[in-house]
Structure 1
Amino acid sequence: MDLNLLLVLHALLTERHITRAASRLNMSQPAVSHALGRLRALFNDRILIRCGQEMRPTSRAEEIAGDLEVILTDISHILERPNFDPSEAEGKITICATEGAITVFADALVEAKAIARSVVFELSSEQYDIERRLKSGDVDIYVDTQPMLTSSEFHSIELFRNDLICVMRNGNGESDRISRADYASRDHIMIAGGTNDRLTHFLREIGIMRNTTVITPGYFSAANIASKSDLLLTLPAALAAHVCEIFPLQQRRFAFDLPEVALTMSWHSRRDSNPLHRWARDIIVAGARTAPTVSAA
């Protein structure tokens, strides 16, 4: 397909008006109208339907719009000079990650922002329909403890593996390691979803039923509550070390075996060679390398 046709299509879908699209492209109105005719024949679709003073995209055009934005962005980066300089870069990177995952690479992100002042990082914890959102470009990078995405459309890497650590308020327990019997007999606070769902399933398989009395949406609120109560909180080592620096909490290793937690990063293959996206992924990898993998206790 002629690249110029893609540019006209993008302008038409953005402006929804032939005259405004022509002005945006510095083209004549008849030339844009002719290009729209070619696009309609190519896609076998009307693309835009006149409604009053404006034109509305068809359902097919709306499907095309998301992929078109990604394609034109990738073409733009291909045509850029090969030496990527983050201090001169512009754009937005959307990262979908839990509050805990963001904590792992937060320091590296802050350092990167000091250099790349014109790059916007949008952080979201909404993890619904993640494969579709990665494919459409609504999400650029996905970081979580969920299993890696297996479709060939995506690239995934493991950032690190963490031991699970039991966290409790200072003075709530004296032994260095928490036993299976003690862990099963105590009341717990749990973070909804993800790691804790898989941990609950594993504990049931080995005959441990946690008595969970509080469920929170994030690890920070859970740690705050644990520091003011006798509730036990189970966290990956990186987060356990972090909350123990902020709240009056102590870490305890387990006297029985628990599975490790793997933090993974995934992205769509279309963004694999994009210089800005590669740089953003390197930031997350750098942050993960500095995260604690085991407790100091």
Structure 2
Amino acid sequence: MNNLRRIDLNLLVTLQALLTEKHVSRAALRLHKSQPAVSHALAHLRTIFDDPLLVRRAGKLELTSRASELLPALTGALHQVGALLDQPAFDPARTKRLFRLAMSDYGSRVILPGLVKRLRSDAPGIDLQVTQGSRTSMMAGVHDGEIDLAFGVFPSQLADELRTQTLFIEHFVSAADKHTLPNTGSLDKDAWLSRPHVLVALQSNEAGEIEHALQREGVTRRIAMTLPHWGIASSLVTNTDLILTAARRSFDLFLEDSPLQLFAPPFAIDPFAYEMVWHSRRESDAGHNWLRETVVEMLRDSA
């Protein structure tokens, strides 16, 4: 243990080069160091091991018995250290692994179709486990290691160990049955406020971007239906006088014969950044890095 305190990894690398090359100049070339620096290291190593390590016989340097014993153990130790420090190669086509994701059903609609297709094509051995929760519970899951990646709208200030990446900027649109709209295909503020509305929220008292925009306008709307699921919300509007105002990507791509009409809300609603969050401990994980890059590429291609 005392000797261990007197040596560093660079000295062990130098020792391996010297014992392998049996020549100070060649060892210096191999290490990209000067010959005097390697000679100085050899002198230091001889003191540490209390052995000459290399002795000159017949004009050439040869290993001492102690050095011959050291070389195989030294080579094995440096190989293990290298394996410890080097990030292992990641082959998505051959990897079998489970990733745990957290997102709302809005996120599921936006993220999962493209991601699953990419995984089935490029990484068929990777499985996904998707859960849903509040922003707070998703961040807690990422922090505690129970979630690998969380997707959603998160506070601007996160814990220092959490990392975030904006995937896209989302905007709001309103949707109504087109047969209940005037020829303009939209509604002014008074008409918009006079209609009953659908609110999608995990909690009925949750105030989102739309409510904040209404507060700035000094007006309120009547919420006739509150539900936590995006998927069915647009279906509730069909053949009714209801209005649904939601993130643009929460709606299916409408065909010309769709009964619903999308239009801009009659007042400004702040867009929001849709983000991906992970823990800093994952940043040395090649598979996790690949998955994040794949999500970004998939969204860019689909845009």
TM-based fold match above 0.5: yes
| Offset, 1:93 | 0.8
Distance 1:232 1:287, change over 3 A: farther
Matches within 5 A, 1:137-286: 137-148=145-156, 150-174=158-182, 175-193=184-202, 197-240=208-251, 242=252, 244=254, 248-286=259-297
| CA shift for structure 1 position 148 | 4.2
| 1:119 maps to which of 117, 126, 130 | 126
Rg larger for:
2
| AA at the equivalent of 1:244 | F
Q: Is the 8 A contact 1:148 1:266 kept in 2?
A: no
CA distance in 2, matches of 1:207, 1:243: 33
- Cα distance in structure 1, aligned partners of 2:149 and 2:157: 12
SS in 1 for 2:231: helix
Q: Do 1:167 and 1:233's aligned partners in 2 also have CA atoms closer than 8 Å?
A: yes
Deviation at 1:158, TM superposition (A): 1.1
* CA distance 1:102–1:220, change in 2 (3 Å): same
Structure 2 residue matching 1:178: 3-state secondary structure: coil
Distance in structure 2 (CA, Å) of the matches to 1:210 and 1:243: 27
CA displacement at 1:284 relative to structure 2:
2.3
Cα distance, 1:258–1:227 mapped onto 2, change above 3 Å: same
- Supply the AA of the counterpart residue of 2:232: S
Q: Which runs of 5+ in 1 are unaligned?
A: 1-75, 293-297
Whether the 8 Å CA contact 1:104–1:291 is kept in 2: the answer is no
CA contact (8 A) 1:149 1:156 kept: no
Q: Distance in 1 between matches of 2:272 and 2:84?
A: 35
Going from structure 1 to structure 2, the CA distance change for 1:132 and 1:257 (only over 3 Å counts) comes to closer
Moved more, 147-156 or 218-227: 147-156
Alpha-carbon shift at residue 78 of structure 1 (Å)? 6.8
Q: How many residues align?
A: 215
Task: For 1:259, give the aligned amino acid.
Answer: D
Residue identity matched to 1:279: W
In the alignment, which residue of structure 2 is the partner of 1:93?
99
SS of 2:179's equivalent in the other structure is coil
| Matched ranges for 1:54-93 at <5 A | 81-82=88-89, 84-93=90-99
Q: What is the TM-score when the length of structure 1 is the normalising length?
A: 0.65
* Identity, % of aligned positions: 20
8 Å contact from structure 2 (residues 213, 268) kept in 1: no
User: Structure 1's 211 and 78: CA in aligned 2 closer, same or farther, altered over 3 A?
Assistant: farther
Give me the whole-angstrom Cα distance separating, in 2, the residues matched to 1:236 and 1:291.
17
In structure 2, the partner of 1:136 is: 144
Query: Cα 1:228–1:220, aligned 2, differ >3 Å: closer, same or farther?
Result: farther
Cα distance, 1:117 vs structure 2: 1.7
Q: Which amino acid aligns with 2:131?
A: S
Q: Is the 8 A contact 2:245 2:265 kept in 1?
A: no
| Mapped partners of 1:221, 1:92: distance in 2 | 29
Q: Report the Cα offset of residue 131 of structure 1.
A: 2.9
Change (3 A) 1:77 1:221: farther
C-alpha separation in 1, matches of 2:85 and 2:117: 26
Distance 1:268 1:107, change over 3 A: same
**CA offsets 1:212-267 (integer angstroms, 9 cap, x no match):** 01011111111111123210001112223x26359632101134322112211110
The CA RMSD over aligned residues, in Å, is 2.6
Contact 1:169–1:249 (CA<8 Å) still a contact in 2?
yes
- Alpha carbons of 1:252 and 1:196: their partners in 2 closer, same or farther (altered >3 Å)? farther
Output the CA distance in 2 between the equivalents of 1:77 and 1:162: 42
Q: In structure 1, what is the Cα distance between the partners aligned to 2:298 and 2:223? A: 32
Secondary structure of the 2:261 match is strand
Alpha-carbon shift at residue 145 of structure 1 (Å): 2.2
Secondary structure of the structure 1 residue equivalent to 2:215: helix
- Which has the larger displacement, 197-206 or 163-172? 197-206
